[in-house]
Amino acid sequence: MALVGAAVLLVAGLAACSGIQHSGARLFTPTPPPMVARGTPGMAVTPGPEAAFVPGAVTATGVDRNEAPVNPTGDFAVGIPVFIICRVQGVRPGEVHRLTVRWYINGQLARWPGSYTYATVAQDGPLSFSLTYETAGQGIVKLYWDEPVGDSNEQPNDRYLAQAIAFTVR
Protein backbone atom coordinates (compact mmCIF):
# COMPACT_ATOMS: atom_id res chain seq x y z
CA MET A 1 0.00 0.00 0.00
CA ALA A 2 2.90 2.36 0.78
CA LEU A 3 4.25 1.76 -2.73
CA VAL A 4 0.91 2.80 -4.26
CA GLY A 5 0.86 5.93 -2.08
CA ALA A 6 4.40 6.79 -3.12
CA ALA A 7 3.48 6.31 -6.77
CA VAL A 8 0.46 8.61 -6.37
CA LEU A 9 2.64 11.25 -4.69
CA LEU A 10 5.24 10.92 -7.44
CA VAL A 11 2.64 11.34 -10.18
CA ALA A 12 0.99 14.22 -8.32
CA GLY A 13 4.36 15.90 -7.84
CA LEU A 14 5.23 15.48 -11.50
CA ALA A 15 1.84 16.84 -12.52
CA ALA A 16 2.53 20.00 -10.53
CA CYS A 17 5.79 20.64 -12.39
CA SER A 18 6.07 22.82 -15.46
CA GLY A 19 8.81 24.44 -17.47
CA ILE A 20 10.14 22.13 -20.16
CA GLN A 21 10.84 24.24 -23.24
CA HIS A 22 11.58 22.51 -26.50
CA SER A 23 12.56 22.69 -30.11
CA GLY A 24 11.09 19.88 -32.16
CA ALA A 25 10.35 17.53 -29.27
CA ARG A 26 6.94 16.22 -28.33
CA LEU A 27 6.23 16.89 -24.67
CA PHE A 28 3.96 14.75 -22.56
CA THR A 29 1.90 14.93 -19.46
CA PRO A 30 4.25 13.90 -16.69
CA THR A 31 3.47 10.18 -16.52
CA PRO A 32 6.75 8.29 -16.79
CA PRO A 33 6.78 5.97 -19.79
CA PRO A 34 7.92 2.43 -19.27
CA MET A 35 11.50 2.09 -20.40
CA VAL A 36 13.22 -0.97 -21.73
CA ALA A 37 16.36 -1.18 -19.64
CA ARG A 38 18.37 -3.34 -22.01
CA GLY A 39 16.49 -2.66 -25.23
CA THR A 40 14.38 -5.06 -27.22
CA PRO A 41 15.59 -7.54 -29.83
CA GLY A 42 17.39 -5.63 -32.56
CA MET A 43 17.82 -2.52 -30.38
CA ALA A 44 21.23 -1.90 -28.82
CA VAL A 45 21.10 0.61 -25.96
CA THR A 46 24.45 2.01 -24.81
CA PRO A 47 24.49 4.38 -21.81
CA GLY A 48 27.04 7.19 -21.90
CA PRO A 49 28.79 9.23 -19.19
CA GLU A 50 25.68 11.42 -18.67
CA ALA A 51 23.22 8.50 -18.40
CA ALA A 52 22.34 9.53 -14.84
CA PHE A 53 20.28 12.39 -16.33
CA VAL A 54 18.70 10.26 -19.09
CA PRO A 55 18.59 6.81 -17.48
CA GLY A 56 16.28 5.12 -19.94
CA ALA A 57 15.51 5.37 -23.63
CA VAL A 58 13.70 3.17 -26.10
CA THR A 59 12.93 3.28 -29.83
CA ALA A 60 9.38 2.51 -30.93
CA THR A 61 6.98 2.95 -33.84
CA GLY A 62 4.89 5.42 -31.85
CA VAL A 63 3.79 6.83 -28.52
CA ASP A 64 0.32 6.26 -27.09
CA ARG A 65 -1.84 8.83 -25.32
CA ASN A 66 -0.53 7.56 -21.97
CA GLU A 67 3.01 8.43 -23.07
CA ALA A 68 4.03 4.79 -23.37
CA PRO A 69 6.06 3.52 -26.32
CA VAL A 70 3.96 1.77 -28.97
CA ASN A 71 5.69 -1.32 -30.36
CA PRO A 72 9.17 -0.91 -28.86
CA THR A 73 11.50 -2.29 -31.49
CA GLY A 74 14.87 -2.03 -33.13
CA ASP A 75 13.50 -2.73 -36.64
CA PHE A 76 11.78 -0.05 -38.72
CA ALA A 77 10.54 0.35 -42.28
CA VAL A 78 11.65 3.17 -44.57
CA GLY A 79 9.08 5.97 -44.48
CA ILE A 80 7.74 5.08 -41.00
CA PRO A 81 8.68 7.44 -38.12
CA VAL A 82 11.22 6.15 -35.62
CA PHE A 83 10.43 7.45 -32.13
CA ILE A 84 12.89 7.80 -29.28
CA ILE A 85 11.18 8.01 -25.89
CA CYS A 86 13.31 8.95 -22.91
CA ARG A 87 12.98 10.21 -19.37
CA VAL A 88 15.01 13.06 -17.92
CA GLN A 89 15.78 13.07 -14.19
CA GLY A 90 17.99 14.90 -11.72
CA VAL A 91 17.05 18.45 -12.75
CA ARG A 92 17.09 20.69 -9.69
CA PRO A 93 14.64 23.60 -9.32
CA GLY A 94 15.88 26.67 -11.18
CA GLU A 95 18.25 24.71 -13.42
CA VAL A 96 17.96 24.73 -17.20
CA HIS A 97 19.61 22.05 -19.32
CA ARG A 98 19.80 21.12 -22.99
CA LEU A 99 19.08 17.64 -24.37
CA THR A 100 20.52 17.37 -27.88
CA VAL A 101 19.35 14.62 -30.24
CA ARG A 102 21.26 13.48 -33.32
CA TRP A 103 19.99 10.84 -35.74
CA TYR A 104 22.43 8.85 -37.92
CA ILE A 105 22.21 6.49 -40.88
CA ASN A 106 25.12 4.19 -41.75
CA GLY A 107 27.48 6.12 -39.46
CA GLN A 108 26.70 9.58 -40.89
CA LEU A 109 24.46 12.32 -39.53
CA ALA A 110 21.13 11.96 -41.35
CA ARG A 111 20.41 14.80 -43.79
CA TRP A 112 16.66 15.06 -43.24
CA PRO A 113 14.78 17.78 -41.36
CA GLY A 114 14.81 17.06 -37.63
CA SER A 115 17.97 14.92 -37.65
CA TYR A 116 19.68 17.39 -35.31
CA THR A 117 17.41 18.92 -32.69
CA TYR A 118 17.24 19.69 -28.99
CA ALA A 119 14.93 20.36 -26.06
CA THR A 120 15.53 22.88 -23.30
CA VAL A 121 14.80 21.03 -20.05
CA ALA A 122 13.87 22.74 -16.77
CA GLN A 123 12.31 19.77 -14.94
CA ASP A 124 12.30 16.00 -14.74
CA GLY A 125 9.95 14.23 -17.12
CA PRO A 126 9.45 12.25 -20.31
CA LEU A 127 10.36 13.49 -23.79
CA SER A 128 9.85 12.06 -27.25
CA PHE A 129 11.50 12.84 -30.58
CA SER A 130 10.95 11.24 -33.98
CA LEU A 131 12.51 11.09 -37.42
CA THR A 132 11.30 9.43 -40.61
CA TYR A 133 14.13 7.65 -42.40
CA GLU A 134 14.08 7.98 -46.19
CA THR A 135 16.62 5.22 -46.87
CA ALA A 136 17.43 1.81 -45.43
CA GLY A 137 20.49 1.15 -43.31
CA GLN A 138 21.86 1.01 -39.79
CA GLY A 139 20.40 3.82 -37.70
CA ILE A 140 21.47 5.25 -34.41
CA VAL A 141 20.07 8.03 -32.27
CA LYS A 142 22.33 9.73 -29.74
CA LEU A 143 21.14 11.83 -26.80
CA TYR A 144 23.56 14.39 -25.34
CA TRP A 145 23.13 16.15 -21.98
CA ASP A 146 24.28 19.79 -21.79
CA GLU A 147 26.44 19.47 -24.89
CA PRO A 148 27.80 22.91 -25.79
CA VAL A 149 26.20 24.48 -28.86
CA GLY A 150 28.39 23.75 -31.86
CA ASP A 151 30.12 20.74 -30.28
CA SER A 152 30.31 18.01 -32.89
CA ASN A 153 32.47 15.53 -31.01
CA GLU A 154 31.68 12.14 -32.49
CA GLN A 155 33.82 10.06 -30.14
CA PRO A 156 32.10 7.02 -28.58
CA ASN A 157 33.21 8.24 -25.14
CA ASP A 158 31.97 11.82 -25.62
CA ARG A 159 31.60 13.20 -22.08
CA TYR A 160 28.16 14.70 -22.91
CA LEU A 161 26.69 11.45 -24.29
CA ALA A 162 23.72 10.21 -22.27
CA GLN A 163 22.37 7.38 -24.44
CA ALA A 164 23.01 5.85 -27.86
CA ILE A 165 20.40 3.52 -29.35
CA ALA A 166 21.15 1.51 -32.50
CA PHE A 167 18.43 0.12 -34.78
CA THR A 168 17.84 -1.08 -38.34
CA VAL A 169 15.80 0.58 -41.08
CA ARG A 170 14.72 -1.82 -43.87
pLDDT above 50: residue 30: no
Q: What is the pLDDT of residue 109?
A: 94
Position 12 confidence tier, pLDDT thresholds 50, 70, 90: very low
Q: What is the pLDDT of residue 43?
A: 74
pLDDT above 80: residue 117: yes
**What is the average pLDDT value for the chain, to the nearest integer?**
80
Q: What is the pLDDT of residue 40?
A: 54
Mind spelling out the 3-state secondary structure of the chain? CHHHHHHHHHHHHHHHCCCCEEECCEECCCCCCCCCCCCCCCCEEEECCCCCCCCEEEEEEEECCCCCEEEECCEECCCCEEEEEEEECCCCCCCCEEEEEEEEECCEECCCCCCEEEEEECCCEEEEEEEECCCCEEEEEEEEECCCCCCCCCCCCCCCEEEEEEEEEC
Quick: pLDDT tens for 49-101.
999 999 999 999 999 887 789 999 999 999 999 999 999 999 999 999 999 99
Position 17 confidence tier, pLDDT thresholds 50, 70, 90: very low
Q: What is the pLDDT of residue 149?
A: 84
Q: Tell me the mean pLDDT in the region 4-20.
A: 35
